Structure 1
Amino acid sequence: MVETPRSAAPRAGHLLIIGGAEDKLRQRQILSRFVNLAGVHDARVVVISTASSLGDEATELYRSLFHAMGVGEVRGIRPLSREEANDPRLAELLDEATGIFMTGGNQLRLASVIGGTLLGRAIVDRHRHGAIVAGTSAGASAISSYMVAFGTSGATPKQRMTQLSAGLGLLNGAIIDQHFEQRNRIGRLLALVAQSPSLLGIGIDEDTAALVTPSGMLEVLGKGSVTILDPTKIQTDAYEVKRHRPIMVSGVILHSLPAGYRFDLRRRRLLAPLRPVASTDRELASLEAAGRQARRLVRRIAAEGTDELATERRRRRSLRAKRDEEASE
Protein backbone atom coordinates (compact mmCIF):
# COMPACT_ATOMS: atom_id res chain seq x y z
CA MET A 1 0.00 0.00 0.00
CA VAL A 2 1.36 3.41 -0.99
CA GLU A 3 1.06 6.10 1.61
CA THR A 4 2.59 9.45 2.41
CA PRO A 5 4.34 9.68 5.79
CA ARG A 6 1.80 10.22 8.59
CA SER A 7 2.20 12.57 11.54
CA ALA A 8 0.10 14.21 14.20
CA ALA A 9 -0.01 17.47 12.23
CA PRO A 10 -2.99 17.67 9.83
CA ARG A 11 -1.26 20.16 7.54
CA ALA A 12 0.98 17.90 5.44
CA GLY A 13 1.97 19.31 2.07
CA HIS A 14 1.75 18.05 -1.49
CA LEU A 15 4.43 16.26 -3.50
CA LEU A 16 5.09 17.35 -7.08
CA ILE A 17 7.00 14.61 -8.90
CA ILE A 18 8.23 15.84 -12.30
CA GLY A 19 9.58 13.60 -15.06
CA GLY A 20 12.22 16.12 -16.12
CA ALA A 21 12.49 18.70 -18.92
CA GLU A 22 9.46 20.58 -17.58
CA ASP A 23 8.38 23.60 -19.60
CA LYS A 24 10.27 26.67 -18.36
CA LEU A 25 9.60 29.05 -21.25
CA ARG A 26 6.01 28.71 -22.44
CA GLN A 27 2.96 27.77 -20.38
CA ARG A 28 4.92 26.63 -17.29
CA GLN A 29 1.87 24.69 -16.16
CA ILE A 30 3.80 22.39 -13.83
CA LEU A 31 5.98 25.09 -12.29
CA SER A 32 2.92 27.32 -11.93
CA ARG A 33 1.17 24.67 -9.86
CA PHE A 34 4.24 24.46 -7.62
CA VAL A 35 4.29 28.24 -7.15
CA ASN A 36 0.54 28.36 -6.41
CA LEU A 37 0.73 25.62 -3.80
CA ALA A 38 3.77 27.28 -2.22
CA GLY A 39 1.82 30.51 -1.74
CA VAL A 40 2.78 32.67 -4.77
CA HIS A 41 3.69 36.14 -3.42
CA ASP A 42 3.82 34.83 0.15
CA ALA A 43 5.88 31.79 -0.87
CA ARG A 44 9.30 31.11 0.62
CA VAL A 45 11.01 28.68 -1.75
CA VAL A 46 14.29 26.83 -1.27
CA VAL A 47 15.98 25.36 -4.37
CA ILE A 48 18.30 22.40 -3.70
CA SER A 49 20.68 21.76 -6.61
CA THR A 50 22.94 19.10 -5.08
CA ALA A 51 22.05 16.60 -7.83
CA SER A 52 23.08 18.90 -10.67
CA SER A 53 26.50 18.91 -12.29
CA LEU A 54 25.82 22.43 -13.58
CA GLY A 55 26.58 24.00 -10.23
CA ASP A 56 25.10 27.38 -9.44
CA GLU A 57 23.73 27.73 -12.99
CA ALA A 58 20.86 25.37 -12.19
CA THR A 59 20.12 27.23 -8.94
CA GLU A 60 20.12 30.61 -10.66
CA LEU A 61 17.85 29.40 -13.46
CA TYR A 62 15.13 28.26 -11.05
CA ARG A 63 15.66 31.30 -8.85
CA SER A 64 15.03 33.62 -11.81
CA LEU A 65 12.05 31.54 -12.98
CA PHE A 66 10.34 31.58 -9.59
CA HIS A 67 11.01 35.30 -9.11
CA ALA A 68 9.49 35.97 -12.54
CA MET A 69 6.43 33.94 -11.53
CA GLY A 70 5.83 36.13 -8.48
CA VAL A 71 7.61 34.31 -5.66
CA GLY A 72 8.93 36.89 -3.21
CA GLU A 73 11.70 34.87 -1.53
CA VAL A 74 13.83 32.22 -3.23
CA ARG A 75 16.95 30.74 -1.64
CA GLY A 76 19.39 28.32 -3.22
CA ILE A 77 21.48 25.73 -1.38
CA ARG A 78 23.89 23.13 -2.77
CA PRO A 79 25.56 20.95 -0.14
CA LEU A 80 28.15 18.69 -1.74
CA SER A 81 29.10 16.60 1.30
CA ARG A 82 27.30 14.99 4.21
CA GLU A 83 29.23 17.28 6.52
CA GLU A 84 27.66 20.30 4.83
CA ALA A 85 24.20 18.65 4.84
CA ASN A 86 24.57 18.10 8.61
CA ASP A 87 25.27 21.78 9.26
CA PRO A 88 22.42 23.04 11.50
CA ARG A 89 22.63 26.48 9.90
CA LEU A 90 21.87 24.99 6.48
CA ALA A 91 18.94 22.95 7.79
CA GLU A 92 17.55 26.05 9.50
CA LEU A 93 17.15 27.71 6.10
CA LEU A 94 14.17 25.40 5.58
CA ASP A 95 12.44 26.36 8.83
CA GLU A 96 9.99 28.77 7.20
CA ALA A 97 9.98 27.30 3.70
CA THR A 98 6.58 26.84 2.03
CA GLY A 99 8.09 25.17 -1.03
CA ILE A 100 11.19 23.02 -1.60
CA PHE A 101 12.37 22.31 -5.14
CA MET A 102 15.04 19.68 -5.95
CA THR A 103 16.69 19.97 -9.37
CA GLY A 104 17.71 17.24 -11.77
CA GLY A 105 21.12 15.67 -12.25
CA ASN A 106 22.27 12.54 -10.41
CA GLN A 107 19.83 11.11 -7.87
CA LEU A 108 22.47 8.91 -6.26
CA ARG A 109 24.56 12.00 -5.50
CA LEU A 110 21.50 13.74 -4.06
CA ALA A 111 20.46 10.84 -1.82
CA SER A 112 24.03 10.00 -0.78
CA VAL A 113 24.74 13.57 0.31
CA ILE A 114 21.39 14.49 1.89
CA GLY A 115 19.71 11.24 2.95
CA GLY A 116 19.71 10.72 6.72
CA THR A 117 21.27 14.11 7.48
CA LEU A 118 19.87 17.13 9.30
CA LEU A 119 18.94 18.63 5.93
CA GLY A 120 17.25 15.42 4.81
CA ARG A 121 15.20 15.28 7.99
CA ALA A 122 14.36 18.98 7.65
CA ILE A 123 12.92 18.36 4.18
CA VAL A 124 10.67 15.59 5.51
CA ASP A 125 9.66 17.74 8.50
CA ARG A 126 8.72 20.75 6.37
CA HIS A 127 6.62 18.51 4.12
CA ARG A 128 4.80 17.13 7.18
CA HIS A 129 4.08 20.67 8.28
CA GLY A 130 2.55 21.85 5.02
CA ALA A 131 5.35 22.68 2.57
CA ILE A 132 5.09 21.39 -0.97
CA VAL A 133 8.15 19.38 -1.99
CA ALA A 134 8.91 19.09 -5.70
CA GLY A 135 11.60 17.20 -7.55
CA THR A 136 12.38 17.10 -11.26
CA SER A 137 14.25 14.27 -12.98
CA ALA A 138 16.81 13.07 -10.39
CA GLY A 139 15.00 15.09 -7.74
CA ALA A 140 11.81 13.19 -8.58
CA SER A 141 13.42 9.77 -8.15
CA ALA A 142 14.79 10.73 -4.74
CA ILE A 143 11.35 11.59 -3.35
CA SER A 144 10.40 7.96 -2.72
CA SER A 145 11.74 5.74 0.06
CA TYR A 146 13.33 3.41 -2.50
CA MET A 147 14.69 4.88 -5.71
CA VAL A 148 16.34 3.89 -8.98
CA ALA A 149 20.02 4.62 -8.37
CA PHE A 150 21.10 3.90 -11.96
CA GLY A 151 20.37 1.44 -14.71
CA THR A 152 20.03 0.69 -18.41
CA SER A 153 17.19 1.39 -20.81
CA GLY A 154 15.14 -1.05 -22.87
CA ALA A 155 11.65 -2.45 -23.24
CA THR A 156 12.47 -5.96 -21.97
CA PRO A 157 12.77 -6.52 -18.19
CA LYS A 158 16.09 -8.16 -17.39
CA GLN A 159 17.91 -9.22 -14.27
CA ARG A 160 20.49 -6.71 -13.00
CA MET A 161 19.45 -3.97 -15.42
CA THR A 162 19.01 -1.50 -12.58
CA GLN A 163 19.98 -0.86 -8.97
CA LEU A 164 17.80 0.24 -6.07
CA SER A 165 18.97 2.45 -3.21
CA ALA A 166 17.38 4.45 -0.40
CA GLY A 167 15.67 7.71 -1.30
CA LEU A 168 14.59 10.59 0.94
CA GLY A 169 11.44 8.87 2.25
CA LEU A 170 8.76 11.39 1.29
CA LEU A 171 6.62 8.81 -0.53
CA ASN A 172 6.40 5.23 0.70
CA GLY A 173 5.37 2.13 -1.21
CA ALA A 174 6.44 3.23 -4.68
CA ILE A 175 9.42 3.41 -7.04
CA ILE A 176 9.65 6.49 -9.27
CA ASP A 177 11.36 6.61 -12.66
CA GLN A 178 11.63 9.71 -14.85
CA HIS A 179 12.20 10.64 -18.52
CA PHE A 180 10.13 7.49 -18.82
CA GLU A 181 8.88 7.35 -22.41
CA GLN A 182 11.73 9.42 -23.86
CA ARG A 183 14.48 7.13 -22.50
CA ASN A 184 12.57 3.84 -22.87
CA ARG A 185 12.56 2.83 -19.20
CA ILE A 186 9.55 0.49 -19.11
CA GLY A 187 11.75 -2.62 -18.95
CA ARG A 188 13.67 -1.62 -15.86
CA LEU A 189 10.55 -0.52 -14.01
CA LEU A 190 8.92 -3.87 -14.78
CA ALA A 191 12.05 -5.60 -13.49
CA LEU A 192 11.94 -3.59 -10.27
CA VAL A 193 8.29 -4.34 -9.47
CA ALA A 194 8.93 -8.01 -10.31
CA GLN A 195 11.72 -8.04 -7.74
CA SER A 196 9.75 -5.92 -5.22
CA PRO A 197 6.03 -6.65 -5.79
CA SER A 198 4.92 -4.75 -2.70
CA LEU A 199 5.86 -1.51 -4.47
CA LEU A 200 3.98 0.38 -7.16
CA GLY A 201 6.05 1.42 -10.17
CA ILE A 202 5.50 5.03 -11.28
CA GLY A 203 7.07 6.19 -14.56
CA ILE A 204 6.76 9.86 -15.49
CA ASP A 205 7.32 11.29 -18.97
CA GLU A 206 9.18 14.53 -19.62
CA ASP A 207 7.24 17.78 -19.13
CA THR A 208 4.78 15.74 -17.06
CA ALA A 209 4.19 15.58 -13.32
CA ALA A 210 2.38 13.55 -10.70
CA LEU A 211 0.87 15.79 -8.03
CA VAL A 212 0.30 13.72 -4.89
CA THR A 213 -1.95 14.98 -2.10
CA PRO A 214 -1.40 14.12 1.59
CA SER A 215 -4.24 11.59 1.28
CA GLY A 216 -2.42 9.72 -1.50
CA MET A 217 -4.43 10.95 -4.49
CA LEU A 218 -2.27 11.37 -7.61
CA GLU A 219 -3.21 13.88 -10.32
CA VAL A 220 -1.42 13.99 -13.69
CA LEU A 221 -0.23 17.35 -15.08
CA GLY A 222 1.60 18.29 -18.27
CA LYS A 223 1.99 17.08 -21.83
CA GLY A 224 2.85 13.39 -21.44
CA SER A 225 1.61 10.52 -19.34
CA VAL A 226 2.24 8.89 -16.00
CA THR A 227 2.57 5.10 -16.19
CA ILE A 228 1.61 3.15 -13.07
CA LEU A 229 2.54 -0.52 -12.73
CA ASP A 230 0.55 -2.41 -10.11
CA PRO A 231 2.14 -5.82 -9.37
CA THR A 232 -0.52 -6.96 -6.90
CA LYS A 233 -1.34 -10.03 -9.05
CA ILE A 234 2.09 -10.47 -10.62
CA GLN A 235 3.58 -13.79 -11.69
CA THR A 236 7.35 -13.78 -12.26
CA ASP A 237 10.48 -15.87 -12.26
CA ALA A 238 12.66 -12.95 -11.14
CA TYR A 239 13.79 -14.88 -8.06
CA GLU A 240 15.51 -17.58 -10.14
CA VAL A 241 16.77 -15.78 -13.26
CA LYS A 242 20.55 -15.44 -13.36
CA ARG A 243 22.95 -12.82 -14.67
CA HIS A 244 21.45 -10.36 -17.19
CA ARG A 245 18.83 -12.65 -18.69
CA PRO A 246 15.21 -11.60 -19.42
CA ILE A 247 12.65 -11.91 -16.63
CA MET A 248 9.18 -13.36 -17.10
CA VAL A 249 6.58 -10.86 -15.91
CA SER A 250 2.84 -11.53 -16.16
CA GLY A 251 -0.29 -10.14 -14.53
CA VAL A 252 0.96 -6.61 -13.88
CA ILE A 253 -1.83 -4.05 -14.14
CA LEU A 254 -0.68 -1.11 -16.27
CA HIS A 255 -2.31 2.32 -16.08
CA SER A 256 -1.23 4.96 -18.63
CA LEU A 257 -2.67 8.27 -17.47
CA PRO A 258 -2.50 11.55 -19.40
CA ALA A 259 -3.17 15.01 -17.96
CA GLY A 260 -6.34 15.39 -15.92
CA TYR A 261 -6.56 11.77 -14.78
CA ARG A 262 -6.30 10.80 -11.12
CA PHE A 263 -5.29 7.67 -9.28
CA ASP A 264 -5.73 6.63 -5.65
CA LEU A 265 -2.30 5.34 -4.62
CA ARG A 266 -3.52 3.82 -1.36
CA ARG A 267 -6.45 1.88 -2.82
CA ARG A 268 -4.69 1.36 -6.17
CA ARG A 269 -7.65 2.38 -8.30
CA LEU A 270 -8.45 4.89 -11.04
CA LEU A 271 -10.55 7.93 -10.11
CA ALA A 272 -12.76 10.21 -12.18
CA PRO A 273 -10.65 12.53 -14.37
CA LEU A 274 -10.34 16.26 -13.92
CA ARG A 275 -10.52 18.79 -16.73
CA PRO A 276 -6.96 19.77 -17.83
CA VAL A 277 -5.88 23.27 -16.82
CA ALA A 278 -6.01 25.70 -19.75
CA SER A 279 -3.09 28.01 -20.42
CA THR A 280 -3.48 31.77 -20.05
CA ASP A 281 -2.44 34.47 -22.49
CA ARG A 282 0.17 35.62 -19.99
CA GLU A 283 1.73 32.16 -19.85
CA LEU A 284 1.81 31.88 -23.64
CA ALA A 285 3.42 35.30 -23.95
CA SER A 286 6.26 34.26 -21.66
CA LEU A 287 7.92 32.45 -24.59
CA GLU A 288 8.70 35.78 -26.24
CA ALA A 289 10.41 37.03 -23.07
CA ALA A 290 12.84 34.13 -22.87
CA GLY A 291 16.41 35.02 -23.85
CA ARG A 292 18.82 32.89 -25.82
CA GLN A 293 21.02 32.20 -22.79
CA ALA A 294 18.09 30.87 -20.78
CA ARG A 295 17.08 28.61 -23.67
CA ARG A 296 20.57 27.11 -23.93
CA LEU A 297 20.69 26.45 -20.18
CA VAL A 298 17.23 24.86 -20.25
CA ARG A 299 18.41 22.45 -22.96
CA ARG A 300 21.52 21.57 -20.96
CA ILE A 301 19.50 20.87 -17.82
CA ALA A 302 17.04 18.75 -19.80
CA ALA A 303 19.95 16.67 -21.13
CA GLU A 304 21.53 16.03 -17.72
CA GLY A 305 21.90 12.34 -17.04
CA THR A 306 21.95 11.22 -20.68
CA ASP A 307 25.75 11.35 -20.77
CA GLU A 308 27.78 11.66 -17.58
CA LEU A 309 30.76 13.03 -19.57
CA ALA A 310 28.82 15.65 -21.54
CA THR A 311 29.19 18.37 -18.93
CA GLU A 312 32.93 17.77 -18.62
CA ARG A 313 33.36 17.93 -22.41
CA ARG A 314 31.46 21.23 -22.55
CA ARG A 315 33.63 22.64 -19.78
CA ARG A 316 36.81 21.68 -21.63
CA ARG A 317 35.55 23.17 -24.91
CA SER A 318 34.72 26.39 -23.08
CA LEU A 319 38.20 26.56 -21.56
CA ARG A 320 39.84 25.92 -24.94
CA ALA A 321 37.75 28.64 -26.58
CA LYS A 322 38.68 31.07 -23.81
CA ARG A 323 42.40 30.28 -24.19
CA ASP A 324 42.21 30.69 -27.97
CA GLU A 325 40.47 34.02 -27.54
CA GLU A 326 43.11 35.23 -25.09
CA ALA A 327 45.91 34.07 -27.38
CA SER A 328 44.48 36.01 -30.32
CA GLU A 329 44.36 39.27 -28.39
Structure 2
Amino acid sequence: MTILTAIPIPAPSAPGPGARNGSGHRFDPDRRWAASLELEFQLRGSELQASTALTRVRHHGPLRVQRPFYPEGRRGCCHVYLLHPPGGLVSGDLLQIDVSVANGARALLTTPAAAKLYKADSHGVAWGQHTRLSVADGATLEYLPQETIAFDGSRGQQTTTIDVADGGRCLGWEILALGRPASALPFASGHLEQRFLLTRQGRPLWQERQLLDPQHRRFSGHWGQGGATVQATLWAVGLEDAGDAVTLLRQTLPATTRWAVTYRRGVLLLRYLGRERNEAWALCQQAWELLRPTLTGQPASIPRIWLT
Protein backbone atom coordinates (compact mmCIF):
# COMPACT_ATOMS: atom_id res chain seq x y z
CA MET A 1 0.00 0.00 0.00
CA THR A 2 1.28 3.47 -0.91
CA ILE A 3 1.06 6.07 1.82
CA LEU A 4 0.81 9.66 0.65
CA THR A 5 2.11 12.18 3.14
CA ALA A 6 1.05 15.81 3.05
CA ILE A 7 3.35 17.82 5.28
CA PRO A 8 2.86 21.57 5.70
CA ILE A 9 6.10 23.47 5.22
CA PRO A 10 6.76 25.86 8.11
CA ALA A 11 6.01 29.44 7.25
CA PRO A 12 9.07 31.65 6.67
CA SER A 13 10.20 33.83 9.54
CA ALA A 14 8.48 37.16 9.83
CA PRO A 15 10.07 40.08 7.92
CA GLY A 16 11.37 43.19 9.57
CA PRO A 17 9.35 46.22 10.58
CA GLY A 18 6.93 47.62 8.07
CA ALA A 19 3.30 48.36 7.36
CA ARG A 20 1.15 45.30 8.11
CA ASN A 21 -2.45 44.33 8.46
CA GLY A 22 -3.84 42.25 11.33
CA SER A 23 -2.62 38.96 9.82
CA GLY A 24 0.99 40.12 9.62
CA HIS A 25 1.09 40.66 5.85
CA ARG A 26 3.20 43.61 4.76
CA PHE A 27 1.89 46.28 2.43
CA ASP A 28 5.13 48.19 1.88
CA PRO A 29 7.84 47.61 -0.78
CA ASP A 30 9.43 44.79 1.29
CA ARG A 31 6.41 42.49 1.52
CA ARG A 32 6.59 38.83 0.48
CA TRP A 33 3.74 36.35 0.31
CA ALA A 34 5.41 32.98 -0.15
CA ALA A 35 4.01 29.63 -1.21
CA SER A 36 5.89 26.42 -1.94
CA LEU A 37 5.22 22.89 -3.07
CA GLU A 38 7.51 19.85 -3.06
CA LEU A 39 6.55 16.64 -4.88
CA GLU A 40 8.34 13.31 -5.14
CA PHE A 41 7.37 10.40 -7.38
CA GLN A 42 8.66 6.87 -6.86
CA LEU A 43 8.12 3.46 -8.41
CA ARG A 44 6.37 1.15 -5.95
CA GLY A 45 5.42 -2.55 -5.99
CA SER A 46 6.91 -5.72 -7.46
CA GLU A 47 8.68 -5.69 -10.81
CA LEU A 48 5.64 -6.99 -12.72
CA GLN A 49 3.11 -4.86 -10.82
CA ALA A 50 5.16 -1.72 -10.22
CA SER A 51 3.41 1.64 -10.55
CA THR A 52 4.36 5.27 -10.08
CA ALA A 53 3.16 6.76 -6.80
CA LEU A 54 3.16 10.32 -5.50
CA THR A 55 4.97 9.46 -2.29
CA ARG A 56 5.72 12.87 -0.85
CA VAL A 57 3.87 16.18 -0.81
CA ARG A 58 5.02 19.17 1.22
CA HIS A 59 3.26 22.49 0.89
CA HIS A 60 3.11 25.95 2.36
CA GLY A 61 0.59 28.58 1.34
CA PRO A 62 -1.84 28.35 -1.59
CA LEU A 63 -0.15 25.62 -3.63
CA ARG A 64 -1.70 22.16 -3.74
CA VAL A 65 -2.21 19.10 -5.93
CA GLN A 66 -5.28 17.07 -6.71
CA ARG A 67 -5.15 13.33 -6.16
CA PRO A 68 -3.05 11.45 -8.74
CA PHE A 69 -4.83 10.17 -11.85
CA TYR A 70 -3.94 7.09 -13.91
CA PRO A 71 -5.72 7.51 -17.28
CA GLU A 72 -3.12 5.21 -18.90
CA GLY A 73 -3.64 2.40 -16.42
CA ARG A 74 -2.32 1.88 -12.92
CA ARG A 75 1.11 0.89 -14.21
CA GLY A 76 1.20 3.81 -16.64
CA CYS A 77 2.15 7.44 -16.22
CA CYS A 78 0.91 9.24 -13.09
CA HIS A 79 -0.96 12.46 -13.96
CA VAL A 80 -1.04 15.26 -11.37
CA TYR A 81 -2.65 18.72 -11.53
CA LEU A 82 -0.85 21.62 -9.85
CA LEU A 83 -3.32 23.96 -8.15
CA HIS A 84 -2.77 27.62 -7.26
CA PRO A 85 -6.24 28.72 -6.04
CA PRO A 86 -5.59 32.50 -6.39
CA GLY A 87 -5.16 31.89 -10.12
CA GLY A 88 -2.44 34.48 -10.58
CA LEU A 89 0.52 36.35 -9.14
CA VAL A 90 0.41 39.84 -7.65
CA SER A 91 3.15 42.06 -6.25
CA GLY A 92 5.06 40.31 -3.50
CA ASP A 93 3.97 36.75 -4.40
CA LEU A 94 6.77 34.19 -4.39
CA LEU A 95 6.04 30.66 -5.63
CA GLN A 96 8.53 27.81 -5.37
CA ILE A 97 7.77 24.43 -7.00
CA ASP A 98 10.16 21.47 -6.60
CA VAL A 99 9.49 18.17 -8.37
CA SER A 100 11.60 15.01 -8.12
CA VAL A 101 11.00 11.85 -10.16
CA ALA A 102 12.91 8.79 -8.95
CA ASN A 103 14.36 5.91 -10.95
CA GLY A 104 11.77 4.19 -13.15
CA ALA A 105 8.88 6.51 -12.23
CA ARG A 106 6.80 8.31 -14.87
CA ALA A 107 4.92 11.53 -14.12
CA LEU A 108 2.97 14.15 -16.06
CA LEU A 109 2.26 17.54 -14.47
CA THR A 110 -0.17 20.13 -15.77
CA THR A 111 -2.44 22.91 -14.49
CA PRO A 112 -6.23 23.34 -14.64
CA ALA A 113 -6.19 26.81 -16.22
CA ALA A 114 -4.01 29.61 -17.50
CA ALA A 115 -1.88 31.43 -14.93
CA LYS A 116 -2.13 35.22 -14.74
CA LEU A 117 0.56 37.77 -13.93
CA TYR A 118 -1.20 40.87 -12.67
CA LYS A 119 -0.15 44.52 -12.84
CA ALA A 120 2.37 45.60 -10.21
CA ASP A 121 1.17 47.82 -7.38
CA SER A 122 2.06 51.45 -6.79
CA HIS A 123 5.39 50.43 -5.23
CA GLY A 124 6.35 48.37 -8.31
CA VAL A 125 6.99 45.31 -6.14
CA ALA A 126 7.84 42.28 -8.28
CA TRP A 127 6.53 38.72 -8.05
CA GLY A 128 8.61 35.56 -8.47
CA GLN A 129 7.97 32.02 -9.66
CA HIS A 130 10.73 29.42 -9.49
CA THR A 131 10.36 25.83 -10.70
CA ARG A 132 12.95 23.08 -10.19
CA LEU A 133 12.56 19.71 -11.88
CA SER A 134 14.79 16.71 -11.14
CA VAL A 135 14.61 13.52 -13.21
CA ALA A 136 16.56 10.41 -12.19
CA ASP A 137 18.08 7.71 -14.38
CA GLY A 138 15.30 5.69 -16.03
CA ALA A 139 12.62 8.21 -15.00
CA THR A 140 10.33 10.28 -17.23
CA LEU A 141 8.78 13.69 -16.51
CA GLU A 142 6.37 15.63 -18.71
CA TYR A 143 5.86 19.20 -17.49
CA LEU A 144 2.94 20.71 -19.43
CA PRO A 145 1.40 23.73 -17.68
CA GLN A 146 -1.31 25.70 -19.40
CA GLU A 147 -0.30 29.10 -20.72
CA THR A 148 0.69 32.16 -18.70
CA ILE A 149 -0.92 35.55 -19.39
CA ALA A 150 1.02 38.67 -18.42
CA PHE A 151 -1.15 41.73 -17.81
CA ASP A 152 0.05 45.20 -18.70
CA GLY A 153 2.34 46.54 -15.99
CA SER A 154 3.32 43.15 -14.58
CA ARG A 155 6.79 42.92 -13.04
CA GLY A 156 8.53 39.72 -11.99
CA GLN A 157 10.98 36.90 -12.60
CA GLN A 158 10.21 33.37 -13.75
CA THR A 159 12.90 30.67 -13.57
CA THR A 160 12.84 27.05 -14.66
CA THR A 161 15.70 24.74 -13.67
CA ILE A 162 15.77 21.15 -14.95
CA ASP A 163 18.34 18.49 -14.06
CA VAL A 164 18.07 15.20 -15.94
CA ALA A 165 20.30 12.26 -15.04
CA ASP A 166 21.90 10.12 -17.74
CA GLY A 167 19.12 7.78 -18.85
CA GLY A 168 16.38 10.17 -17.72
CA ARG A 169 13.81 11.74 -20.06
CA CYS A 170 12.03 15.08 -19.82
CA LEU A 171 9.68 17.04 -22.07
CA GLY A 172 8.10 20.34 -21.13
CA TRP A 173 7.00 23.74 -22.32
CA GLU A 174 6.39 27.33 -21.33
CA ILE A 175 3.79 29.38 -23.22
CA LEU A 176 3.60 33.12 -22.49
CA ALA A 177 1.00 35.60 -23.76
CA LEU A 178 1.74 39.30 -23.29
CA GLY A 179 -1.22 41.56 -22.62
CA ARG A 180 -4.81 41.01 -23.69
CA PRO A 181 -5.00 42.28 -27.27
CA ALA A 182 -8.56 40.99 -27.75
CA SER A 183 -9.63 43.42 -25.01
CA ALA A 184 -7.49 46.23 -26.44
CA LEU A 185 -5.19 45.95 -23.42
CA PRO A 186 -1.66 45.45 -24.82
CA PHE A 187 1.45 44.77 -22.76
CA ALA A 188 2.62 48.39 -22.94
CA SER A 189 4.55 48.63 -19.65
CA GLY A 190 6.16 46.32 -17.13
CA HIS A 191 9.25 44.16 -16.91
CA LEU A 192 9.47 40.36 -17.07
CA GLU A 193 12.53 38.17 -16.84
CA GLN A 194 12.60 34.51 -17.86
CA ARG A 195 15.49 32.17 -17.10
CA PHE A 196 15.95 28.56 -18.18
CA LEU A 197 18.70 26.16 -17.15
CA LEU A 198 18.77 22.52 -18.25
CA THR A 199 21.56 20.26 -17.07
CA ARG A 200 22.37 16.62 -17.79
CA GLN A 201 23.96 14.90 -14.81
CA GLY A 202 24.88 18.38 -13.59
CA ARG A 203 26.42 19.47 -16.93
CA PRO A 204 24.79 22.59 -18.44
CA LEU A 205 23.24 21.89 -21.85
CA TRP A 206 20.87 24.83 -22.30
CA GLN A 207 20.99 28.14 -20.47
CA GLU A 208 18.97 31.19 -21.38
CA ARG A 209 17.97 34.56 -19.99
CA GLN A 210 15.33 36.74 -21.60
CA LEU A 211 14.15 40.21 -20.62
CA LEU A 212 10.75 41.44 -21.78
CA ASP A 213 10.38 45.20 -21.52
CA PRO A 214 7.98 46.91 -23.97
CA GLN A 215 9.90 50.17 -23.53
CA HIS A 216 13.11 48.61 -24.89
CA ARG A 217 13.71 48.78 -28.63
CA ARG A 218 14.34 45.02 -28.69
CA PHE A 219 10.64 44.49 -27.93
CA SER A 220 9.44 45.98 -31.22
CA GLY A 221 12.60 45.51 -33.31
CA HIS A 222 12.60 42.86 -36.04
CA TRP A 223 15.91 41.60 -34.61
CA GLY A 224 14.19 40.90 -31.27
CA GLN A 225 10.60 40.35 -30.20
CA GLY A 226 9.33 41.97 -33.38
CA GLY A 227 6.12 43.10 -31.69
CA ALA A 228 5.00 39.51 -31.10
CA THR A 229 2.61 39.09 -28.19
CA VAL A 230 2.83 35.30 -27.75
CA GLN A 231 5.88 33.11 -27.40
CA ALA A 232 6.45 29.48 -26.53
CA THR A 233 9.39 27.18 -25.88
CA LEU A 234 9.15 23.39 -25.85
CA TRP A 235 12.09 21.26 -24.78
CA ALA A 236 12.81 17.54 -24.93
CA VAL A 237 15.83 15.65 -23.64
CA GLY A 238 16.38 11.88 -23.77
CA LEU A 239 15.19 11.25 -27.34
CA GLU A 240 16.82 8.14 -28.79
CA ASP A 241 16.74 9.38 -32.39
CA ALA A 242 16.59 13.15 -32.28
CA GLY A 243 17.28 13.50 -36.01
CA ASP A 244 14.14 11.58 -36.90
CA ALA A 245 12.18 13.58 -34.29
CA VAL A 246 13.25 16.90 -35.81
CA THR A 247 12.36 15.67 -39.29
CA LEU A 248 8.96 14.47 -38.08
CA LEU A 249 8.16 17.85 -36.55
CA ARG A 250 9.28 19.77 -39.63
CA GLN A 251 7.23 17.57 -41.94
CA THR A 252 4.09 17.35 -39.80
CA LEU A 253 3.56 20.64 -37.96
CA PRO A 254 1.81 23.51 -39.78
CA ALA A 255 4.07 25.13 -42.35
CA THR A 256 4.44 28.69 -41.06
CA THR A 257 7.36 30.99 -40.35
CA ARG A 258 6.25 31.47 -36.73
CA TRP A 259 8.06 28.42 -35.33
CA ALA A 260 11.37 26.62 -35.69
CA VAL A 261 12.98 23.52 -34.19
CA THR A 262 16.64 22.80 -33.42
CA TYR A 263 18.65 20.07 -31.74
CA ARG A 264 21.95 20.80 -30.01
CA ARG A 265 23.90 19.14 -27.24
CA GLY A 266 21.19 16.56 -26.60
CA VAL A 267 18.32 19.07 -26.28
CA LEU A 268 15.49 19.51 -28.78
CA LEU A 269 14.01 23.01 -28.71
CA LEU A 270 10.85 24.11 -30.47
CA ARG A 271 10.22 27.88 -30.54
CA TYR A 272 7.10 29.85 -31.41
CA LEU A 273 6.87 33.62 -31.83
CA GLY A 274 3.60 35.10 -32.99
CA ARG A 275 0.33 36.70 -31.92
CA GLU A 276 -2.10 33.83 -31.35
CA ARG A 277 -2.34 32.10 -27.98
CA ASN A 278 -4.45 29.26 -29.37
CA GLU A 279 -2.02 28.73 -32.22
CA ALA A 280 0.93 28.46 -29.82
CA TRP A 281 -0.95 26.00 -27.60
CA ALA A 282 -2.07 23.85 -30.56
CA LEU A 283 1.48 23.78 -31.92
CA CYS A 284 3.00 22.66 -28.62
CA GLN A 285 0.29 20.06 -28.01
CA GLN A 286 0.72 18.58 -31.48
CA ALA A 287 4.50 18.48 -31.05
CA TRP A 288 4.07 16.69 -27.71
CA GLU A 289 1.71 14.16 -29.30
CA LEU A 290 4.31 13.49 -32.00
CA LEU A 291 7.28 13.27 -29.66
CA ARG A 292 5.76 11.30 -26.80
CA PRO A 293 5.84 7.86 -28.48
CA THR A 294 9.51 8.41 -29.30
CA LEU A 295 10.34 9.66 -25.81
CA THR A 296 8.29 7.27 -23.66
CA GLY A 297 7.16 4.46 -25.95
CA GLN A 298 3.53 5.38 -25.26
CA PRO A 299 0.97 7.39 -27.29
CA ALA A 300 -0.15 10.75 -25.95
CA SER A 301 -2.88 10.65 -23.33
CA ILE A 302 -4.61 14.03 -23.17
CA PRO A 303 -5.13 15.20 -19.56
CA ARG A 304 -8.86 15.40 -18.88
CA ILE A 305 -8.54 18.88 -17.45
CA TRP A 306 -7.60 20.23 -20.92
CA LEU A 307 -11.00 19.17 -22.24
CA THR A 308 -13.11 20.96 -19.61
* TM-score normalised according to structure 1 size: 0.31
Counting strand residues as a fraction of each chain, which structure ranks higher? 2
* TM-score normalised according to structure 2 size: 0.32
Bigger relative CO (Cα 8 Å, ≥ 6 apart): 1
